[in-house]
Structure formats: C-alpha cells, structure tokens
C-alpha cells in the first residue's frame, strides 16, 4: 500500500476540505442547477478559494461554510443558463495568469512576471473586450483575494501561544497584486478592497520593494478613476452618494443579508466577528474594513445586479459564521475536557443544517 509522506499528509489535510467542497458544489451546479461546465467550473473555483481561506477555522466547519456560500440564494442565482463557451475575459485572465507564472519561473523575478501578466491581460482586454465587467471573473478574483488576505494575516499574526508567526512567501504578495490588477481592470468595484489590502500588507509586516508599493498604489489610482467612470460619471448615475442617509436602504440591505443566511446566520456572524476580533485582531479589523466598504456601496448603489455585486460582503459574512461555529465547538470540547477534539467536529457538523436547508429550498423551487 502506498504511504504518504508527512509533507503530503499535511498538504492533504490543508487542501482536501476545499477540494471536497468545490467538487460537491460543481456537481450540484451541473446536475441540479443545469449550469454549463465552464460557468460551473468558475463558480466552483470561487468556492474552492473561500473554503481554503476558512481551512484554519476547522476541517468540518470550512466544508459546511463553503457549501453555505455555494447554495445561498445570491450565489446560486448565477447557475443555470444554456450551453456557452468561456467568456473572453476569463480566457484573458487565465492566459495572463499562466504568463505570470511562466515568466516568474523562467526569469526568477516575481516583479517581472507580474508585470508581463498584467501587460498581456491589458493587451487582450483593450483590443478584444473593452468594457467587460464580467461578474464571474469578479467573483472568482474576489474569492482568491480574500483567501490570500486571510492566509497572509493568519500566517503572520497567529493566535498567541498556538504557533509562532511566519514570514509570508513572495507568491502571496505577488498574487495579491496580480489579482487586484486583473480585478480592477475587469470591474473597478474591486477597488473597494484596496484599503483592506493595504492594511493587510502593513499588518503582515511584509518586506516589499518600493516598486511593489508604487505598482499597488498605481493600480488603486487606476481603479478609482475607472470606478468613477463606471458608477459616478454616467447620467443618470447608478450611485446615490447620499443613499446611506435613507433609513429604508439600511432595512433593505439588512433584509438582503438575512434572506441569504437567515436570522440564525446573522447571529453567528456577529458572534464570529466578536471572537475573531478577540483572538485575531488584525484579521477582524481587515474583514470589518472590507465589509464596511461593501455596506456603503450597497446603501448607495441603485443599479442592476446589486445582489451579485455584493457577493464579497456575503463571503465575509460566511467567514464570520464559520469562525463562530468553530469557536463554539472548541468551547464545548474544552468544557467536556475531551483531548481527542471530537466535539469540535461534532458541533461543526451541525453547521451542515444551513446548506442542507438551502438545498431543500432549491429542490422545491
């Protein structure tokens, strides 16, 4: 029988929840959602990234959290449709990503690899696409941006007494810049994550060259310009900058979040944020800033696809919910003085009731 090495077992434990969750979501989208393979694969990759980001919040809880996102009404609304080919914007992003990895490997220079990847994407974008705003690519990029943010912060700011802090590898910061650039060019709404990204890099004590910061600030400035062109300059503008002053907008946005995860999910989110801020203050701060940016957008935006454009907000909500479940499991396990840790998994398994409820609603509709 083939035995796995320690390194392989570690990789399996780290990535298997994301693989299982993404694979299950992909099959559900194909079979129940009647979704084209290309679209289902893109959505499943987004679920993979979110689940991977929640892995340190528990093996079982991360799987349940990933399925909760995949089956919540807004995310599931992207399934279905007739057979289609992959969008040009997605192909361009894939080609740029491959070019970045290949150039980084051959030239041994991450900065050159990132630059070449972005240049290739820009060339394809402006020559073949123009103004894409692909919702699928936006969701995919957002999911992996949040994965890198969470992974980098937890790596450099672990819970005291659990494990020592580690320096982030170069590929994490390189991936952040590349994904942020691709996302901002495709849909400048990604620029709302810029404050969270800058703070995450600062809190992770990343030793980055000046050219990296210049590139990141340049992409942020470009994103702000494109954001103004897409959402502020057009008349009538889809943004009402004073919309946050309308109490009914707050109620509508609250009802939208409750419609995704139920009142129980909102309570879990509040508990998760409170515990996250207690044990992992940097991650709590970064996620709150990102969440607040999309709250402001949700209160002021009155255009189409509002729910889908708020998917980053729902991803963060699921992360808070998942951490709350993991915290509850650890509390129960500690109260029962069980050294095996089985109660962590048993309590986390109750979390599957939420995606199961979503799935029953999908089957009934």
- How does residue 270 score in pLDDT terms, banded at 50, 70 and 90? very high
Q: Which residue has the higher pLDDT, 90 or 5?
A: 5
Beta-carbon contacts of residue 8 (< 8 Å; ≥ 6 apart): none
Cβ contact 355:68 at 8 Å: yes
Instruction: Judge whether 118 lies within some domain.
Output: no
Pseudo-torsion of CA 144, 306, 249, 288, nearest 10°? 0
Per-residue model confidence (pLDDT) at position 161: 67
Contacts of 75 (CB under 8 A, 6+ apart): 43, 69, 311, 314
CA distance 145 to 143: 6
Evaluate whether 60 touches 342 at the Cβ level (below 8 Å): no
User: Domain for residue 113, yes or no?
Assistant: no
Give mean pLDDT, residues 186-203.
91
pLDDT tens figures, 35-92:
888 778 878 888 998 999 998 888 999 999 999 999 999 999 988 765 444 455 555 5
| pLDDT grade for 336, boundaries at 50, 70 and 90 | confident
Query: Alpha helices of the chain — where are they, by DSSP H?
Result: 6-31, 37-53, 59-71, 73-76, 88-107, 110-124, 135-156, 170-186, 194-203, 210-231, 247-279, 281-300, 306-309, 311-335, 342-349, 353-364
- Beta-carbon count within 10 A of 303 CB: 13
Q: Looking at the domain assignment, is residue 120 inside a domain? A: no
Structure tokens at 72: 């919540």
Residue 127, in any domain of the structure:
no
- Helix 170-186 vs helix 88-107: angle between axes, to the nearest 10 degrees? 150
Task: Evaluate whether residue 109 is within a structural domain.
Answer: no
- Cα 45 from Cα 179, distance rounded (Å): 14
| 123 part of a folded domain | no
The answer as to whether 57 is a domain residue is yes
Domain span at residue 169 reads: 6-87+132-364
Between CA 336 and CA 20 the distance in angstroms is: 30
- Rg for the chain (alpha carbons), in Å? 20
Query: What are 28-36's contacts with CB under 8 Å, separation 24+?
Result: 28/70, 28/71, 28/359, 29/70, 29/79, 32/362, 32/363, 33/76, 33/79, 33/80, 33/362, 34/79, 34/80, 35/79, 35/80, 35/81, 36/81, 36/82, 36/83, 36/84
Q: What is the pLDDT at residue 209?
A: 87
User: Does the pLDDT at position 184 exceed 50?
Assistant: yes
Question: How many domains does the chain contain in total?
Answer: 1
Confirm whether 126 is domain-assigned.
no
Give Cβ neighbours of residue 181 (< 8 Å, ≥ 6 apart): 114, 118, 121, 215, 219
Which residues are within 8 A (CB) of 131 and not within 5 positions of it... i.e. 6 or more apart? none
Half-sphere exposure of 46 (CA within 13 A, CB side): 25
Here the tokens at position 55 are 């892995």
Q: What is the DSSP letter of 301?
A: B
**Residue-level pLDDT at 119:** 53
Specify the pLDDT at position 85: 43
Q: Look up residue 142 and give its two tokens.
A: 């957002």
Residue 357: band (very low, low, confident or very high) from pLDDT cuts 50, 70, 90: very high
238 against 132, higher pLDDT? 238
- Average pLDDT rounded to a whole number, residues 269-285: 92
pLDDT of the residue at 108: 57
Give the mean pLDDT of the chain: 83
Residue % of the chain over a pLDDT of 70: 83
Average pLDDT over residues 200-223: 89
Over residues 322-345, mean pLDDT: 86
């Amino acid at each position: 029988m083939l035995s796995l090495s320690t390194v392989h077992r570690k990789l399996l434990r780290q990535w298997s929840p994301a693989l299982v969750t993404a694979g299950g979501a992909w099959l559900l989208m194909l079979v129940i959602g009647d979704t084209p393979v290309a679209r289902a694969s893109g959505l499943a990759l987004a679920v993979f990234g979110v689940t991977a980001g929640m892995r340190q919040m528990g093996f079982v809880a991360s799987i349940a959290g990933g399925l909760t996102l995949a089956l919540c009404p807004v995310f599931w609304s992207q399934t279905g449709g007739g057979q289609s080919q992959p969008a040009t914007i997605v192909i361009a992003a894939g080609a740029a990503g491959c070019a970045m990895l290949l150039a980084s490997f051959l030239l041994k220079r991450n900065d050159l690899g990132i630059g070449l990847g972005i240049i290739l994407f820009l060339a394809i974008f402006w020559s073949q696409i123009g103004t894409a705003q692909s919702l699928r690519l936006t969701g995919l990029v957002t999911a992996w941006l949040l994965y890198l943010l969470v992974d980098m912060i937890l790596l450099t700011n672990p819970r005291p007494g659990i494990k020592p802090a580690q320096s982030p590898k170069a590929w994490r910061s390189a991936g952040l810049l590349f994904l942020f650039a691709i996302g901002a060019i495709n849909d400048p709404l990604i620029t709302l994550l810029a404050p969270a990204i800058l703070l995450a890099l600062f809190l992770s004590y990343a030793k980055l060259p000046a050219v990296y910061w210049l590139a990141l600030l340049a992409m942020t400035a470009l994103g702000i310009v494109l954001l103004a062109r897409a959402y502020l300059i057009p008349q009538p503008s889809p943004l009402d900058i004073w919309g946050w002053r309308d109490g009914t907008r707050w109620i509508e946005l609250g009802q939208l979040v409750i419609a995704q995860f139920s009142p129980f999910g909102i309570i879990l989110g509040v508990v998760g944020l409170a515990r996250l801020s207690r044990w992992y203050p940097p991650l709590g701060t970064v996620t709150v800033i990102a969440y607040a940016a999309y709250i402001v957008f949700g209160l002021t935006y009155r255009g189409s696809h509002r729910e889908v454009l708020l998917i980053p907000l729902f991803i963060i909500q699921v992360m808070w919910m998942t951490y709350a479940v993991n915290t509850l499991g650890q509390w129960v396990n500690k109260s029962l003085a069980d050294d095996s840790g089985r109660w962590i998994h048993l309590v986390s398994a109750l979390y599957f009731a939420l995606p199961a409820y979503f799935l029953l609603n999908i089957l009934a509709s």
